[in-house]
């Protein structure tokens, strides 16, 4: 089936892409919604390089009303269906966890209206999102923390790669603070994937600044990438 993957550049959407391809789907586009300025949670320069490394075009759509994103999500998917024959919408939401419970409701309504199929490959039958995190690392994804909530994370976590060793530290921290270890609740941290088995090249950050973004009662420390580039895989 010809599908589009909801794309933020983070670890869950990368695993969803991987699973969609494994299941035999043709991923025609990466679909990215931009709903804030600056876009602190994920990096557009890195996303653009991911698309190049994956040889998959990225389609960007603005969300002008984040409190009611449904009309503009529907509009973007309707356009991709009409112009490119997209039949399915793939998301990296972890089924039954955190924000996914809300997203699934309106994604299903949108897909039903458009006659498209919704795919949520991250089903997580154990109900423990740590299992998803371990699967991401075992699959060969190399995510870094590009944005952290200073209420839970020290500055040393910014830019840290998640791997077999560091996710153990992350699990202990998440349990101590009572937050989701995958940040599926959206309050802990965000990631960008720098390499994956399906990337033709890896991504490197040559220069970035550390910035703080205040959102209601939260203070986010994030990487503002100034220079990013593709490099040959090691």
Q: Does the pLDDT of residue 123 top 80, yes or no?
A: yes
Q: Which residues pair with 80 in a beta bridge?
A: none
Q: What is the pLDDT of residues 197-229, one digit of tens each?
A: 999 999 999 999 999 999 888 999 999 998 999
For the residues of 93-106, what is the DSSP string, one character each?
A: --TTSTTHHHHHHH
- Across the beta sheet with 117-119, the strand order is 58-62, 26-34, 2-6, 88-90, 117-119
The CATH number of whichever domain residue 133 belongs to comes to: 3.40.50.620
For residue 64, what are the domain limits? 2-231
Q: How many domains does the chain have?
A: 1
Average pLDDT on 119-133 reads 94
Nearest residue to 36 (alpha-carbon basis) of 12, 79, 59, 67 = 67
DSSP 155: G
The pLDDT-based confidence of 53 (bands split at 50, 70, 90) is: very high
For the residues of 8-70, what is the DSSP string, one character each?
A: -SSHHHHHHHHHHHHTT-EEEEEEEEE-SSS--SS-HHHHHHHHHHHT--EEEEE-S-TTS-H
Nearest residue to 136 (alpha-carbon basis) of 96, 163, 102, 106 = 163
Q: Hey, what's the torsion of the CAs at 193, 142, 20, 16, to 10 degrees?
A: -60
Residues whose CB falls within 8 Å of the CB of residue 153, separated by 6 or more in sequence, listed in order: 145, 173, 188, 189, 221
Cβ atoms 86, 116 nearer than 8 A: yes
Would you state the pLDDT for residue 89? 98
Q: Does the pLDDT of residue 33 top 80, yes or no?
A: yes
Average pLDDT, the chain: 94
The pLDDT-based confidence of 44 (bands split at 50, 70, 90) is: very high
Q: What is the length of the chain?
A: 234
Average pLDDT on 114-139 reads 95
Token match 């530290």: residue? 169
What percentage of the chain has pLDDT greater than the value 70? Answer: 100
What percentage of the chain has pLDDT greater than the value 90? Answer: 82
Would you state the pLDDT for residue 96? 76
Q: What is the pLDDT of residues 56-113, one digit of tens each?
A: 999 999 999 888 889 999 999 999 999 999 999 999 999 877 677 778 888 999 999 9
The token duo for 44 is 């557009």
pTM score of the predicted model: 0.95
Q: What is the pLDDT of residues 138-162, one digit of tens each?
A: 999 999 999 999 999 999 999 999 9
Q: Does the pLDDT of residue 116 top 80, yes or no?
A: yes
Give 3-state DSSP helix, strand, coil % of the chain, rounded to 5: 35, 30, 40
Q: Does the pLDDT of residue 132 top 90, yes or no?
A: yes
Token match 């990013």: residue? 228
């Amino acid at each position: 089936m010809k599908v589009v993957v909801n794309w933020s550049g983070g670890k869950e959407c990368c695993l969803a892409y991987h699973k969609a391809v494994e299941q035999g789907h043709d991923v025609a586009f990466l679909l990215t919604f931009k709903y804030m300025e600056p876009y602190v949670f994920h990096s557009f320069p890195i996303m653009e390089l991911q698309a190049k490394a994956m040889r998959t075009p990225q389609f960007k759509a603005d969300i002008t009303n984040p409190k009611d994103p449904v009309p503009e999500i529907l509009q973007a998917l309707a356009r991709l269906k009409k112009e490119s024959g997209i039949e399915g919408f793939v998301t990296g939401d972890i089924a039954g966890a955190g924000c996914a419970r809300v997203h699934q409701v309106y994604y299903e309504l949108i897909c039903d209206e458009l006659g498209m199929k919704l795919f949520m490959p991250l089903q997580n039958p154990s109900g423990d999102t740590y299992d998803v995190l371990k699967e991401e690392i075992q699959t060969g994804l190399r995510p870094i923390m590009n944005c952290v909530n200073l209420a839970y994370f020290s500055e040393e976590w910014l830019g840290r790669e998640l791997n077999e060793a560091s996710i153990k530290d992350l699990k202990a921290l998440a349990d101590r603070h009572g937050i989701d270890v995958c940040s599926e609740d959206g309050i802990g941290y965000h990631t960008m994937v720098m390499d994956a088995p399906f990337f033709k090249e890896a991504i490197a950050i040559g220069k970035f600044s550390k910035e703080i973004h205040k959102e209601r009662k939260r203070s986010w420390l994030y990487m503002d990438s100034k220079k990013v580039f593709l490099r040959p895989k090691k």
